[in-house]
Structure 1
C-alpha cells in the first residue's frame, strides 16, 4: 500500500508549514494566547485564503473536495505549532455535521460562509453527568408548531464563546441515556435564551459553559431525523477522533524534536546529556511511540469514512487508545529530560504536554477507548461464527 502523499497533498502540507513557521513561533503564540480572543483573527483569514476552511467540503457545496487525508495533513501541522484558532471546532466538528447530515439547502447556506472564514461553529454536546457517553443527553427539544424549543445546559463547548452558530444535541423523546430520541440542531449563538460563559482551558484553547433557556429554533435547522440523530453524532465524533489523532502526531513530533535538540546542547559533567545511554533509550522510546501513533493515525484516517459504524468505531477506539498511551509516554519523557525548565511557562515543551493531555481526554481517554475496544471484541471482530 502506498502511503506517500500526492503532489497536491504535498503542496498543501508545504504551504501550510511555511505559513505556520512564519506566523506561529512560540513567542507569537504566547502573544496570541494573552489576547482577549485567545486566537488570531489575522491567521484565521490566512487559513481561509489558503482554502483550509473549504478543504473537506464537496465542490458542489462551495468546498474544495478534500477528504480525511487532507484533514490529517492540516491537523498534524496545526498540532506541531499548537495553533489556537477554532479550526477543529468549526471545520472538523461543526462542518462534519453539515457534510454528513446537512440537507442541500443547509449546505448551500452555511458551507460558503465557513469557506470564507465568516462563520464559526461549535459542537455543544457534553453535559455534566455524561462522562464519555455520547448517548447521555438531558437537554430537551420540545416540538412547538413549526419550531422546537430547547432547554438545558452544555459543558466544555470547545470555542463555544466565539462561535456564531452552535450544533446542539437535544432529546426529543425517551430517557436521558436512551439511544433513540436525540436530535441535532443548528442554533444561533446569540439567540434569545442562549447564555455563554467563556474561559481558557488548561492547554490555552477556549471553551464555554452554555445554557439554553427555552430557545426557539426553526424545524429546518435540524440535521436529519430529529429522533434518530445519534448515529450522525457518532460518525462525526469518529471523524473528529481521527483528526485529533493527527493533531497528536504533530504535538508528539514537536516534543520529540525539542527534546533531542535539548539533549545535544545541555551539558552535565562537561558533556552533552545526549551522550548518556539512559537518556538515549528514553529518546528512542519517544520515537517509537511517535511512529506507532503515526501508523494508528493513518489507519484511523483510512477508516474515517467507513460506512460500517461498528468497524469504524473499533478503529477509532484502537487509535485513540494508542495515541493516549504514546502521547503520555512522550510527554513524560520530554519533561523529565528537560528537567526544571520543562515545567516552566516560558518554555514550549510543557505547553505541548498540556495539549497532549487534553487531546487524550477529548471524546474519551485511552482507558475508556481500551475498554470499549475490549467490549467490541478487539480491533478485528471474530467472524468465524
Structure 2
C-alpha cells in the first residue's frame, strides 16, 4: 500500500505545520487559554481564512471533501501544538453529524457559518449512566407543534459551554442501548429550558454538563434514524484523536530527547546513561507503532461499518496505551520538573491521558474490538 501524500495533501501538511510552528508556541498557547472562550479567537479566524475549517465538508456544502487522511494531517499538527481551538467539537463532531443528517436547508443555514469561523457547535451525546456507550440515551424528545421538546442530561460535552449551537442526541422511541429510536437535534443553548455548566478539563480544554427541561429542538434527518450517522461521526472523531495523539507523542519524544542531551549529572549528559537510552528507544518504538495505527484508522473511514469500527477501535486501544507509556516515561526522565505547569512536557502528558478517555478509553475499545466481527 502506498502511504505517500499527494500534492494537495502535502500542501495541506505544509500549511498547517507551518501555522502551528509559527503561531502556536507554548507561550502563545498559554495566552490563548486565558481568553474568554478558552481558545484563541484570532487563531480560529485564521483557521477559517486558510480554509482549514472546510476540509471535511463536501464540496456542495462549501468544503473541499477531505477524507480521513486530511483529517489525520490536520490533527497531527494540532497535537504537536496542543491546540485549544474547538476543531474536533465544531467541525468533526457537531458539524459532521449535521452534514450527514441535515436537510439542504439546515446545512445551508449552519455550515457556512462553521466554515467562516462565525459559528461553533458542540455534540452532546454522552450521558452520566452510559459511560462510553453512545446509544445509551435516556434523554427524551417529545413532538409538539412545530418542534420537539427535549428533557434529560448530557455529560462532558466538549466545548459545550462556548458553543453557539448544540447538536444533541435524544430518544423518540426505544430504550437506552437500542439502535432504533435515536434521533439528533439542533438546539439553541441560550433558550429557556437549557442549562449549561462549563468547566476546564485537565488538559486545558473546556467541557460542560447540559441540562434539558423541555428545550425546543429542530430535528435533523429522519425521526429515530440517527444511530448509523452518529457512529460514523464518532469514528471520524476517534481518527482525529488518534492523529492528535501521534502529534503530541512526537513532540513529547523530541522534548525528552533534548532534555537528555542537555541535563547533566555526575559531569555528563544523562542521555549517556544506557538505561535512559533504552527508555528513549521504547518511546520511539511506541510512537512509530501508534503512527502506523493512526494511518490504518484514517484509511478506514470509507469502509463498511463493521470493518471500520473494528479498525478504529484497534487504533484507539494501541494509541491510548502508547500515549500513556510515552507520557509516563517522559515525566520520569524529566524528573520533578516534568510535573510543573511551567514545563511543556506536563501539558503533553495531560493531553495524552485525556485523549485516551475522549470518545472511549482503551478498555472500552478493546471490548468493542473483541465483540465486533472480523472482516471476511
Q: Do both share a fold (TM > 0.5)?
A: yes
In 2, Cα distance between equivalents of 1:13 and 1:177: 39
Tell me whether 1:154 sits opposite 2:154 in the alignment: yes
3-state SS of paired residue (1:129): helix
Aligned residue pairs, count: 376
Matches for 1:218-233 after TM superposition, within 5 Å: 221-233=218-230
1:29 and 1:55 map into 2 onto residues whose CA distance is: 23
Q: Structure 1 residue 328 and structure 2 residue 324: aligned? A: yes
Q: For residues 257 and 78 of structure 1, what CA distance do their matches in structure 2 show?
A: 16
1:89 equivalent in structure 2 = 89
Instruction: Find the aligned partners of 2:357 and 2:290 in 1 and give their Cα distance.
Output: 16
Where 1:53 maps in the other structure, the secondary structure is helix
1:266-310 CA-to-partner distances (Å, cap 9, x unmatched) read 11111111111111111111111111111101110011122x211
Q: Which residue of 218, 232, 236 maps to 1:239? A: 236
User: Residue by residue, what CA displacement relative to the aligned partner does 1:134-185 show, whole Å, maximum 9, x if unpaired?
Assistant: 1110111001133111111111100001101101001111222322111100
Judge which range, 74-83 or 146-155, deviates more. Answer: 146-155
Q: Distance in 1 between matches of 2:365 and 2:22?
A: 37
**Structure 1 runs not aligned, ≥5 long:** none
Q: What is the RMSD computed on CA atoms of the aligned residues?
A: 1.2
Task: Tell me if the contact between 1:153 and 1:212 (Cα under 8 Å) persists in the aligned partners.
Answer: yes
The match for 1:263 among 260, 273, 279 is 260
Pair 1:297 & 2:294 matched: yes
The residue number in structure 1 matching 2:46 is 46
Aligned match of 1:118: 118
CA displacement at 1:242 relative to structure 2:
0.8
Query: C-alpha distance in 1, partners of 2:99/2:253?
Result: 35
Give distance in 2, aligned partners of 1:244 and 1:33: 20
**Bigger shift: 10-19 or 279-288?**
10-19
Distance 1:6 1:97 in 2: 27
Aligned equivalents of 2:309 and 2:65: distance in 1? 24
Matches for 1:158-237 after TM superposition, within 5 Å: 158-217=158-217, 221-237=218-234
Contact 2:147 2:219 in 1 (8 A): no
Conservation of the 8 A alpha-carbon contact between 1:169 and 1:184:
yes
Whether the aligned pair in 2 keeps the contact of 1:157 and 1:209 (CA below 8 Å) is: yes
Q: C-alpha distance in 2, partners of 1:95/1:28?
A: 27
Deviations 1:21-70, CA, capped at 9 Å, x for gaps: 22211111112223332111000000000101111111221112222211
2:135 pairs with 1:135: yes
- Quote the Cα distance in structure 2 between the aligned partners of 1:24 and 1:137: 38
1:207-229: per-residue Cα shift (whole Å, max 9, x none)? Answer: 11111110122xxx322222121
Preserved contact between residue 63 and residue 112 of structure 1 (Cα < 8 Å) = no
| C-alpha distance in structure 2 between counterparts of 1:189 and 1:51, whole Å | 27
Cα distance in 2 for residues equivalent to 1:205 and 1:77 = 17
Specify which of 280, 283, 286 is matched with residue 283 of structure 1: 280
Paired position in structure 2 for 1:74: 74
What residue in structure 1 maps to residue 27 of structure 2? 27
Cα distance in 1 for partners of 2:44, 2:35 equals 15
What are the equivalent positions in structure 2 for 1:4-19 lying under 5 Å apart? 4-19=4-19
State the alpha-carbon separation in 2 of the partners of residues 94 and 214 from structure 1. 21
Q: TM-score, normalised by structure 2?
A: 0.97
**Partner Cα separation in structure 1 for residue 368 and residue 251 of structure 2:** 30
Residue of 345, 351, 361 corresponding to 2:347: 351
| Aligned counterpart in structure 1 of residue 245 of structure 2, from 231, 244, 248 | 248
- 2:333 equivalent to 1:370: no
Residue number in structure 2 paired with 1:3: 3
Aligned mates of 2:279, 2:243 — CA distance in 1 = 23
What is the rounded CA distance, in whole Å, between the counterparts of 2:107 and 2:177 in structure 1? Answer: 30
